[in-house]
Amino acid sequence: MKAPLIDNLQYANFSPKVFAQMREGGVDAVHVTIAYHESFREMVLNLESWNRWFEDHPNLIFKGTSAACVRRAQAEGRTAIFFGFQNPSPIEDDIGLVEICHQLGIRFMQLTYNNQSLLATGCYEDEDTGLTRMGKQVVREMNRVGMVVDMSHSAERSTLEAIAHSTRPIAITHANPHWWHPALRNKSDTVLKALTGAGGMLGFSIYPHHLAGGSNCTLERFCAMIADAADRYGAEHLGIGTDLCQDQPDSVVEWMRVGRWSKVIDYGEGSASNAGFPPMPVWFSDNRDFGNIRKGLEAVGMAPAEIDGIMGGNWLRFYEESFGPQ
């Protein structure tokens, strides 16, 4: 069977239109965010919404829990939907909820969003104190049950400590190299060497604040960055995590940045000067545009096997290694 097409991070305003576009684009699997700042109970309400979508649109989507679901999606012409958290808030202060969430189908969890959490430090904090005592215990529990540690929004020391402390490879599902574009959220060469050296995965983001040139970033420039990263870190550790926020109202950015902890908008990439969603690059606006990335990677001279891996084969291998108990 051919290599799959996997997008390992989306937070679109999901709808039948988006699901149909996934199928038009031949997307076999998508990791979707189902929690930013929600409590456990609020996260369960989001699962209820997804269950209804699975019930109403079984010809388009189904719930994914294992790598085998990706192959099933390819065979049946549907899209497997995998769940993840961008914040550990749904486990509250209870390590036992890690396993419960895995049983509910959660396969990725960030240890932080932009702020300090009970587990680690977010990338917007002034001081990075690394993994907390609870954080080390939660990483161990995530390793045990088969939930992937995601450090996409975490600060440098915390990320390096998570890589070192985890007994299984971790992921940065949606970010780009800091050497390409010095956004606060993008990752240093030190982090990316440690991540890939330990067998982890990096998903390249198309969210404009993470791109060199922002919304005006060209396909050629994006794909040249991927080729450069493949030379530095090995193509087998790279994939796509678009961070697609299609059809979301600007009010959702405020929810992302503010949550419940502040009465004003967060700083950094969500500051008052760019508080809304920026326009996507012209070459990627929705799930029908993944073919442009493949063509772009071909144009910068990447080998077909490397391209197949980056477009989804590498994530599939990572799923196979990561989603079961240790």
For residue 268, what pLDDT band results from cuts at 50, 70 and 90?
Answer: low
Pairing of strands 6-10, 79-85: unpaired
Q: Would you call 205 helix, strand, or coil by DSSP?
A: coil
> Residues 141-154: what's their mean pLDDT?
98
Q: 165 and 136 in contact (C-beta within 8 Å)?
A: yes
Residues 183 and 26: their CA atoms lie apart, in Å, by 31
Q: Give me the chain's average pLDDT, please.
A: 95
Q: Is residue 82 part of a domain?
A: yes
Q: Would you call 95 helix, strand, or coil by DSSP?
A: coil
Residue 275 confidence (pLDDT): 61
Q: Is residue 310 part of a domain?
A: yes
- pLDDT: which is higher, 265 or 176: 176
Q: 115 and 158 in contact (C-beta within 8 Å)?
A: no
> Residues 122-137: what's their mean pLDDT?
97
Q: 112 and 153 in contact (C-beta within 8 Å)?
A: yes
For residue 270, what pLDDT band results from cuts at 50, 70 and 90?
Answer: very low
Q: Is 324 exposed, middle or buried (0-12, 13-18, 19+ CB in 10 A)?
A: exposed
Q: What are the residues facing 84 on neighbouring strands?
A: 33, 108
> Residues 166-170: what's their mean pLDDT?
98
For residue 269, what pLDDT band results from cuts at 50, 70 and 90?
Answer: very low
Residue 86 confidence (pLDDT): 97
Residue 272 confidence (pLDDT): 40
Q: Is residue 298 part of a domain?
A: yes
Residues 297 and 3: their CA atoms lie apart, in Å, by 15
Residues 94 and 118: their CA atoms lie apart, in Å, by 11
Q: Is residue 1 part of a domain?
A: no
Residues 24 and 287: their CA atoms lie apart, in Å, by 8
pLDDT in tens, 61-98: 999 999 999 999 999 999 999 999 999 999 999 999 99
Please give the helix or strand (H or E) that residue 160 lies within, else none.
helix 156-165
Q: Is residue 17 part of a domain?
A: yes
Q: Is the pLDDT of residue 213 over 50?
A: yes
Q: Is the dihedral of CA 255, 65, 50, 286 positive or negative?
A: positive
Residue 152: which CATH number?
3.20.20.140
For residue 265, what pLDDT band results from cuts at 50, 70 and 90?
Answer: confident
Q: Is residue 63 part of a domain?
A: yes
Q: 175 and 203 in contact (C-beta within 8 Å)?
A: yes
Residue 264 confidence (pLDDT): 81
pLDDT in tens, 10-27: 999 999 999 999 999 999
Q: Is residue 99 part of a domain?
A: yes
Range of the domain at 181: 6-322
Q: Is the pLDDT of residue 143 over 60?
A: yes
Q: What percent of the chain has pLDDT over 90?
A: 89
> Residues 17-40: what's their mean pLDDT?
97
Angle at 216 between CA 239 and CA 125, to 5 degrees: 65
Percentages (nearest 5) of helix, strand, coil residues in the chain: 45, 15, 40
For residue 150, what pLDDT band results from cuts at 50, 70 and 90?
Answer: very high
Q: Is residue 251 part of a domain?
A: yes
CA distances from 92 to 42, 108, 111, 206 (A): 11, 16, 12, 30
Q: Would you call 276 helix, strand, or coil by DSSP?
A: coil
For residue 261, what pLDDT band results from cuts at 50, 70 and 90?
Answer: confident
> Residues 300-315: what's their mean pLDDT?
98
Total of domains in the chain: 1
